[in-house]
Structure formats: C-alpha cells, structure tokens
Amino acid sequence: MKNKNNKEVDVQGLTSKKRAKKQKCCLCGEELDKYGGNDPWPFRYRGRCCKFCYDHIVIPFKTKKRMEMRERHLAVLQSIISQFNESN
C-alpha cells in the first residue's frame, strides 16, 4: 500500500523507516518490546518505559504518591471534623 507521498506504508499507516526504528526505555535505555512499552507518568512525562522499569520504578512511585495524597486528605478531614466538634 502507498500513501500520498508514494512511500510504502504498512497496515498501521507507518512508513518502513518509522517501523524499523526501535524505541528505547526512557528510564534505563533498554530496547522496548513490540508492544511499545508503558507510560512512565508521573515519574516521567515523555517517552515510554520497559516492563521492568514500570514494575520496579513507576508503580512504586505511583503508590507512594497515592499514599501521600491519602494522608493529606485524611489530615484535612480530621481538621474539619475537629473544627465541627469544637463549634458544637
């Protein structure tokens, strides 16, 4: 199949040069598998990461941030409850 510039295009619409270019993990530099890796957000905002980095860096980072957010929300809730109890 050819696109409007007469370049060979595969089924997904990628030219052979783009298809041949291998992506690398934005964290460790390893070559990504055929599925294109995982989203490293919020550890990194651009690029893709390999499964190992996703499991050992990104997921723990997300979990830590989620726990910090939960603790902040609980602190705010406790202060609201204590203010309400003082006013009654």
The answer to whether position 57 is within a domain reads yes
What's the total number of domains in the chain?
1
Q: Would residue 2 count as lying in a domain?
A: no
> Is 12 domain-assigned?
no
- % of the chain beyond a pLDDT of 90: 56
Q: Describe the chain by its helix, strand, coil percentages, rounded to 5.
A: 50, 10, 45
The answer to the question of residue 43 being in a domain is yes
Q: What is the mean pLDDT of residues 71-82?
A: 94
Assigned domain for 5 exists: no
Residue 52 contacts residue 27 (beta carbons within 8 Å)? no
| 45 in any annotated domain | yes
pLDDT on residue 12: 52
Distance CA 65, CA 21 (A): 34
pLDDT of residue 54: 95
Q: Is residue 72 part of a domain?
A: yes
Q: What is the pLDDT of residues 20-60, one digit of tens each?
A: 578 899 999 999 988 889 999 988 889 999 999 999 999 99
pTM greater than 0.75 (yes/no):
no
pLDDT at 4: 53
Per-residue pLDDT at 19: 53
Domain containing 52 equals: 25-87
